[in-house]
Chains A and B, each alone.
Chain A
Amino acid sequence: MKKMRKKEILAMLLAGGQGSRLGALTKTIAKPAVSFGGKYRIIDFSLSNCANSHIDTVGVLTQYRPYLLNSYIGTGSAWGLDARDGGVSILPPYATESGGQWYAGTADAIYQNLNYIDLYDPKYVLILSGDHLYRMNYQEMLRCHKENNADLTISVMKVPMEEASRFGIMTADETGRIVKFAEKPKQPESDLASMGIYIFNKDVLEKALIEDSEDASSDHDFGKNIIPKLLGEGKRLFCYEFSGFWMDVGTISSFHETSMSLLEENPVFDLYDYDFPIFSNENLSSPEYIGPEANVSGSIVGNGSQIFGDVIHSVISVDSYVGRGARVKDSVLLPGATVEDGATVNRAILGEYSVIRAGAVFGSEDPQADIAVIGDDCIVEKGGES
């Protein structure tokens, strides 16, 4: 096989998950393709991290409803990742002479694409999840990996003890070497949670994946299978402790809460950082227009939107419309959403190109009520959801 120019490190980005807990938002698209922050899609964050970390070769593993993701990523040029020598490759499941199969787990997905990794013969492989929100310079993690002479480095962050049982929890010695790993433990021993970001030495990864593929009892999952296996073999596993913002927006309420947190004047997760920009495959809409009677406050409004009514403490994504006399509060309008004249929207998430008809009321002001959600392209008529 003719090889490409050798890379020091390449990234494999897992983007095949459905994110079923996001309900209506992921009915037609994969979670990494869900819109966030007015103009981004969730995958923009990990792709931008790669670009800002000078990692120019990225394999994106897709499986669940990939069409929007595929067309959105395109050649990767929006993230400056359209290099001739590397770039973004979309890696869906494929057929071989012995048939074909879906990706059975995170480890299996990478296993099935070992040939792709071989093409670039990297020394290190960075494994990422495409559905997390964070800014990270992976080069610093790589430096840490090299300094520790590690076989595998896992990015971790401190979480509140009471939440630790939701994560893969590491116990590390004073040098940062992992001595114990427990996937979603009932009685967590530590508060260091795995962020699902791994740097492997390529040969260690390859060997572990091949052995794992032959183990019929395995779930082919990095957290459940690969990490415990390497730990058992006495390999050098280290923590890389990350202290910035990191979020896996797994549920409707965490999606809503994280969106609302962007509205603070100086949010913890600040999208305004010109030294570490988040790139996106931006739409080419005109600037937004705020009408003569509009009232916009404590909000983010994206390009191409037309606002004629009241927008209070909300995220209005690109190409949205809020009509005259309409009122939107504590809500997230995803791209192209329309709130017609006189309609009211409270504590809600409106899917892409959804419509709230004139005079309709959607969502409740009651802070105890669940966040109201309407899926992409759906319509809410006056007097109830259709």
Chain B
Amino acid sequence: MERVIGIISANYETDDLGCLTQERTIASLPFGGRYRLIDFPLSNMVNSGISTVGLITPYKYRSVIDHVGAGKEWSLDRKHGGLFILPGSLFGVTSSEARFMLRDLKHNLVYLKRSIADYVVLTASDVVYNMDYRVLVDQHVRSGADITMLYHEAVEDAPHDLGLELDGDKVTSFIHGVKKGENIFRNCFVISRALLMNIISWYSAEDFLDIFEAIEPDLGKMDIRAYRFGGYIRTIDDIRDYYLHSMDLLQDEVRRELFSHTNPIKTKVQDSVPTKYLEGCSVKNSLIPAGCFIKGTVENSILFRDVTVGEGAVVRGSIVMQHCTIEPGACVENAILDRNNVIKAGTVIKGSPDHVFVMDKKTR
């Protein structure tokens, strides 16, 4: 493979995830029972043979740094290369599509300058997929394009995302707000290191923009192409996305692809005890990580570590994050419980599949 380094951008915010991202960034949003969203791009990088990865941190970076640490779980605690923490800047209002802010790249230019890599793969940290970036880089090198953007057809309307108008594999224009079935940019692209540094310098006066906002007027002058990823790939933009795509994990084929044994998604290890299913419990169609203690009923749900479901308690169609306790006889339906919530005995919490009830994180 060509010499490639990675950059993961985690410096952007949204209000659409509500209280789920009140105290944490999108990158550190818990997902799939034991993961956080950043695990997907970070593991993809490493599984693609990219062993030098810069992480552009968001302003509220505590939870991200707590999770990735020195990158040990991803084998990125290297003598040569490895994980680089690239501090992100503070921005005012940015567009909903903005993922790769020029100023963040400019302020960390030394990361690019010191590298000897030919290409840079840049990804955001709000997309759930398991992909080998080598195919993306291969096509990019073969086509001789300036930039190759990863896309897929939108599975539903995505009004806050960037879409691509294509002629063959050539990107002819950007669409702002994507309708179901249109080509949606999945916040990942490859570019030569030299061109990336040039773009940072050419558009230096507009460094408050996202790289694609900056180059949009000049689209005709550049050779921008697209690569279609054929696997499962979803962007988590809002609470509805979060709920629906979490529930996708209950499908065998989605799990098989995302949690591939050959290209595993890695995460911070917590040494939890295997989960105990006590006599009389009933667990159906659910994803359960280690550390749980289940006496009641759990159906069509995703639990996180260290969740207790008491006797006679019911959890249905819900996502229950770490350290929550559902006391005996309580009932939680179509809800997202953020960390450390205790649902008292007998309490009933009910949302509907279209309007999921969300309970914010508590401090222990």
Contacts and interface: CB of A to CB of B under 8 A. Distances in A.
Contacts of B293: 272
Nearest to A299: B277
Contacts of A265: 278
B72 interface: yes
A297 B293 CA distance: 12
B143 interface: no
Contacts of A285: 259, 264
Contact of A296 (B72, B274, B281): B281
A291 B267 CA distance: 24
Contacts of A39: 273-274, 290
A27 B64 CA distance: 44
Contacts of B32: 286-287
Interface in B99-149: none
Nearest to A281: B269
A288 B288 contact: yes
Contacts of B266: 284
A52 B154 CA distance: 50
A298 B255 contact: no
Interface in B235-276: 250, 252, 255, 258-259, 264-267, 269, 271, 273-276
Interface stretch (A88-96, A146-154, A300-308, A368-376): A300-308
Interface string A197-238: 000000000000000000000000000000000000000000
Contacts of A291: 284-285
B279 interface: yes
A153 B223 CA distance: 76
A131 to B, nearest CB: 21
Given A284-B264, A285-B259, A287-B34, A278 B271 contact: yes
A297 B281 contact: yes
A76 interface: no
A103 interface: no
Contacts of B267: 284
B284 A303 contact: no
Interface in B267-317: 267, 269, 271, 273-290, 293, 298, 302-303
A166 to B, nearest CB: 30
Nearest to A318: B274
A138 interface: no
B269 A288 contact: no
A287 B287 contact: yes
A302 B274 CA distance: 5
B163 interface: no
Contact of B283 (A78, A280, A290): A290
B279 A298 contact: yes
Given A284-B264, A289-B255, A38 B285 contact: no
Contacts of B281: 296-297
A227 B298 CA distance: 55
Interface residues of A, number: 39
Interface string A51-89: 000000000000000000000000001100000000000
Given A265-B278, A287-B33, A294-B284, A303 B290 contact: yes
Among B73, B255, B269, B277, max chain A CB count under 10 A is at B277
Contacts of B72: 77
A277 interface: yes
A140 interface: no
Contacts of B250: 289
Nearest to A307: B283
Interface string A134-145: 000000000000
A128 B280 CA distance: 40
Nearest to B294: A296
Contacts of B283: 290, 294, 296
B277 to A, nearest CB: 5
B272 to A, nearest CB: 9
A290 B286 contact: yes
A240 interface: no
A271 B275 CA distance: 11
A37 interface: yes
A263 B282 CA distance: 16
Given A282-B271, A294-B284, A296-B283, A287 B289 contact: yes
A279 interface: yes
B284 A300 contact: no
A292 B73 CA distance: 32
A301 B284 contact: no
Contacts of A289: 250, 252, 255, 286-288
Contacts of B284: 290-294
Contacts of B273: 38-39, 271-272, 278
Contacts of B278: 265, 297-298
Contact of B274 (A286, A290, A300): A300
B274 A38 contact: yes
Nearest to A37: B274
Contacts of A311: 277
B223 to A, nearest CB: 39
A83 B266 CA distance: 23
A308 to B, nearest CB: 10
Nearest to B293: A272
A301 B285 contact: no
A41 to B, nearest CB: 13
A38 B293 CA distance: 14
Nearest to B286: A290
Nearest to B270: A282
B280 A300 contact: no
A271 B290 CA distance: 12
Query: What 3 pairs across the A-B complex have the smallest Cβ distances?
Result: A38-B274, A287-B33, A287-B289
12 contacts: A37-B274, A38-B273, A272-B293, A280-B271, A286-B33, A286-B258, A287-B287, A288-B275, A290-B285, A296-B277, A303-B289, A303-B290
Given A271-B274, A287-B33, A303-B290, 6 more contacts: A265-B278, A280-B271, A282-B271, A284-B264, A297-B279, A300-B277
